[in-house]
């Protein structure tokens, strides 16, 4: 059997696109994008984000697809380029670990809301008598937070162990479009709420006040760039793996545009649902990581109300949970298969189940602080990083990296490791292997468009942006 047959390949471009878009779309779009936009001034964030996706995101995704298809492996691709680049693979692989430990906390919360609305459909109280104020209650309900984190991790692990991904993938082919439809439905509903218009203004009305001084501009740049890495699943080896399964006739460039485009569309939908909802129901745009939950609870309970609110709320959280689980599975799978492949190469027993269990337990433990610090609201079961540092939310040193454990993990991954990974990758592709991407994209007679631009991007633009991002990160850290 030849190598291609053994590893498998995408049956069609459609299958490839669904898998990559499915992995890209998740809580990053629905939860991360709106809250990051909300805490960095709306319009300013949106503009910087869109510019970053077009100038940096597409090039990096293309580079990863090309690297994967060229080398025929996932994170191992770096080692194939040269033994000394191995560390880049390790760096890329650490990200899924830390991301999953807070991703599962959030997935658990969506499950909690989903169950809450389901119970309400049957006439019982699903939100502990708190209604639209449930979020503030849930944060301090440490037992529930831990229980639902454990459930999310268990479900993820069971799927990775049992290898029922096939079924989940088929299911998510229906669930993802359904999520799109329900998002549009909620967008329309929210649009008719009094005061909603302010939310659109927040997003779309030109306001350059964030750009008037360097610090706030750098802050927007840093947050938007991190969000882009997270949302497009860049710098984690995932797209390298996807690329390795792409057949030589398929156009890398086309796919590297379609995936970021679809992902950004979903993020925009989420923003257009949540920002107007905040405006209409008086939720602070800058509420932080809880924004999705806090704002949507108002929409379903106060806005729609009654049975309609319960049914739509249930459907919404159910679909968000599915989107989250498909991403969690991918995250745990990268870790598990990374070790399993190594063991097989050494002639050892793969022990797939044992390895995914070990990872799941470690991730659960690392996720505990993120589940127990009430997202930094203060005085919770576990102190938030800023509390450990003896700061208060009004102290000068209080920042997005220390306001809660979740944001700290987020900063380490999308704020530091991913820009660092992207910096090295683009330097490699720009200077060391300058023809790799071009040649790989030109396979089977495909034309390589924008050669001049991509050369410039890999050599100068991406490294420069990454250095700026890392610089602002260091600056915030030693403030
Ligand atoms: N991009 C996903 C989201 O927006 C999250 C994510 C990050 C992810 N890295 C990943 C998903 C790796 C699958 C695989 O939610």
**Does any ligand 1 atom lie closer than 6 A to the CB of residue 23?**
yes
> How far apart, in whole angstroms, are the C-alpha atoms of residue 64 and residue 408?
26
Check residue 344 and give its pLDDT.
85
Residue 24 Cβ inside 6 Å of ligand 1? The answer reads: yes
98 Cβ inside 6 Å of ligand 1: no
- CA of 421 relative to ligand 1 center, distance in Å: 16
Per-residue pLDDT tens over the stretch 369-412: 999 999 999 999 999 999 999 999 998 888 888 999 999 999 99
**29 close to ligand 1 (CB < 6 Angstrom):** yes
User: Structural domain of residue 228, as residue ranges?
Assistant: 2-362+433-452
Average pLDDT score, the chain: 91
Does the beta carbon of 231 sit less than 6 angstroms from any atom of ligand 1? yes
2 exposure class (CB count in 10 Å sphere: 0-12, 13-18, 19+): exposed
Domain count, the chain: 1
Query: According to the model, what pLDDT value does residue 189 have?
Result: 95
Place of tokens 């049957």: 122
For residue 104 and ligand 1, the question of a CB distance below 6 A is answered with no
Can you tell me which atom of ligand 1 is nearest the CA of 31? 15
Mutate which of 330, 332, 334 for ligand 1? The one with the most ligand atoms within 8 Å of its CB, which is 330
- CB of 274 within 8 A of CB of 291? yes
Whether residue 466 is contained in a domain is answered as no
Q: Is 234 domain-assigned? A: yes
- d(CA 296, CA 274) in angstroms, rounded, equals 7
Q: Can you give the three-state secondary structure of the chain, one letter per residue? A: CCHHHHHCCCCCHHHHHHHHHHHHCCHHHHHHHHHHHHHCCCHHHHHHHHHHHHHHHHHHHHHHHHHHHHHCCCCCHHHHHCHHHHHHHHHHHHHHHHHHHHHHHHHHHHHHHHHHHHHHHCCCCCCCCCHHHHHHHHHHCHHHHHHHHHHHHHHHHHHHHHCCHHHHHHHHHHHHHHHHHHHHHHHHHHHCCCCCHHHHHHHHCCCCHHHCCHHHHHHHHHHHHHHHHHHCCCCCCHHHHHHHCCCCCCCHHHHHHHHHHHHHHHHHHHHHHHHHHHHHHCCCCCCHHHHHHHHHHHHHHHHHCHHHHHHHHHHHHHHHHHHHHHHHHHHHHHHHHHHHHHHHHCCCCCCHHHHHHHHHHHHHHHHHHHHHCHHHCCCCCCCCHHHHCCCCCCCCCCCCCCCCHHHHHHHHHHHHHHHHHHHHHHHHHHHHCCCHHHHHHCHHHCCCCCHHHHHHHHHHHHHHHHHHHHHHHHHHHCC
Torsion of CA 100, 18, 187, 269, to 10 degrees: 70
* Per-residue model confidence as pLDDT tens digits over 417-434: 999 999 999 999 999 999
- Ligand 1 near 234 CB (within 6 A): no
Does residue 378 lie within any of the structural domains? no
Taking residue 194's Cβ as centre, other Cβ atoms within 10 Å add up to 8
Q: At what angle do helices 462-477 and 418-427 cross, to 10 degrees?
A: 150
Task: Calculate how far, in angstroms, residue 409's C-alpha sits from the geometric centre of ligand 1.
Answer: 14
Query: How confident is the model at residue 5, as a pLDDT?
Result: 43
Residue with tokens 């670990």: 97
**Alpha-carbon Rg of the chain, whole angstroms?**
22
Spatial contact of 171 and 341, defined as CB atoms under 8 Å apart: no
The answer to whether residue 383 is domain-embedded is no
Q: Is this structure's pTM higher than 0.75?
A: yes
Cβ(229) to ligand 1 under 6 A? Answer: no
Atom of ligand 1 nearest to the CA of 24: 1
**Does residue 213 form part of some domain?**
yes
In 3D, which of 14, 471, 35 has the Cα closest to residue 288? 35
Q: Which residue's alpha carbon is at the smallest distance from atom 11 of ligand 1?
A: 327
pLDDT of residue 93: 85
For the chain of 479 residues, list the mean pLDDT of each consecutive stretch of 10: 52 76 90 96 96 97 94 83 88 91 97 97 95 94 98 93 72 83 95 96 94 90 94 90 87 94 96 96 92 95 93 94 90 84 85 92 98 94 95 88 93 93 95 94 91 96 95 79
403 closest CA partner among 288, 295, 291: 288
In this prediction, residue 255 carries a pLDDT of 92
Atom number in ligand 1 closest to CA 26: 15
> Is 237's C-beta closer than 6 angstroms to any atom of ligand 1?
no
235-251 pLDDT, tens digit each: 988 898 888 888 898 89
Check residue 214 and give its pLDDT.
87
Nearest-CA residue for atom 9 of ligand 1:
233
114 Cβ closer than 6 Å to some ligand 1 atom: no
In a domain, 339, yes or no: yes
The answer to whether residue 463 sits within a structural domain is: no
Answer whether 53's CB lies under 8 Å from 232's CB.
yes
75 lines ligand 1 (CB under 6 A): no
- Would you say the CB of residue 331 lies under 6 angstroms from ligand 1? yes
End-to-end CA distance of the chain: 58
Assess whether the C-beta atom of 335 lies below 6 angstroms from ligand 1: no
CATH code where residue 117 lies: 1.10.4160.10
CA of 23 from ligand 1 middle (Å) equals 6
In a domain, 258, yes or no: yes
Residues 389, 383: Cα–Cα separation, whole Å: 10
């Amino acid at each position: 059997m030849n190598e291609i047959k053994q590893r498998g390949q995408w049956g069609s471009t459609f299958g490839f696109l669904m898998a990559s878009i499915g992995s890209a779309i998740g809580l990053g779009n629905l939860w991360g994008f709106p809250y990051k936009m909300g805490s960095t001034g709306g319009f300013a964030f949106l503009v910087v984000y869109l510019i970053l996706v077009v100038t940096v995101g597409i090039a990096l995704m293309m580079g990863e697809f090309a690297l994967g298809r060229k080398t025929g492996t996932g994170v191992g691709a770096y080692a194939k380029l040269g033994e000394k680049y191995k560390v880049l693979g390790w760096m890329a692989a650490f990200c899924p670990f830390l991301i999953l430990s807070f991703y599962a906390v959030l997935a658990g919360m969506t499950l909690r809301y989903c169950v809450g609305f389901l119970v309400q459909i049957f006439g019982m109280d699903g939100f502990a008598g708190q209604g639209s104020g449930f979020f503030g209650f849930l944060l301090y309900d440490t037992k529930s937070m831990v229980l639902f984190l454990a459930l999310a991790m268990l479900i993820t692990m069971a799927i990775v162990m049992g290898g029922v991904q096939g079924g989940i993938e088929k299911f998510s082919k229906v669930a993802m479009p359904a999520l799109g439809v329900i998002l549009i439905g909620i967008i329309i509903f929210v649009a008719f709420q009094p005061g909603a218009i302010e939310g659109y203004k927040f997003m779309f009305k030109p306001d350059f006040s964030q750009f008037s001084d360097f610090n706030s501009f750098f802050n927007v740049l840093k947050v938007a760039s991190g969000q882009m890495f997270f949302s497009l699943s860049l710098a984690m080896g995932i797209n390298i793996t996807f690329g390795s399964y792409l057949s030589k006739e398929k156009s890398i460039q086309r796919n590297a545009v379609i995936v970021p485009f679809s992902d950004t569309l979903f993020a925009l939908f989420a923003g257009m649902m949540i920002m107007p909802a905040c405006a209409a129901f008086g939720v602070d745009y800058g509420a932080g990581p809880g924004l999705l939950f806090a704002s949507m609870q108002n929409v379903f309970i106060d806005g729609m109300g009654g049975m309609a609110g319960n049914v739509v709320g249930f459907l919404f959280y159910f679909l968000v949970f599915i989107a989250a689980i498909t991403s969690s599975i991918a995250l745990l799978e990268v870790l598990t298969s990374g070790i399993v492949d190594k063991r097989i190469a050494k002639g050892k027993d793969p022990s797939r189940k044992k390895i995914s269990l070990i990872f799941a337990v470690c991730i659960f433990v690392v996720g505990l602080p993120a589940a127990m610090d009430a997202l930094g609201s203060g005085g919770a079961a576990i102190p938030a990083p800023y509390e450990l540092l003896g700061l208060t939310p009004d102290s000068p040193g209080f920042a997005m990296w220390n306001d809660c454990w979740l944001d700290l993990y987020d900063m380490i991954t999308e704020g530091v490791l991913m820009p660092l990974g992207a910096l090295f990758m683009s330097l490699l592709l720009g200077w060391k292997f300058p023809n790799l991407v071009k040649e790989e994209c030109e396979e089977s007679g495909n034309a390589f468009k924008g050669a001049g631009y991509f050369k410039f991007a890999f050599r100068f633009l991406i490294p420069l942006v990454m250095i700026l991002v890392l610089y602002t990160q260091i600056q915030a850290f030693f403030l």
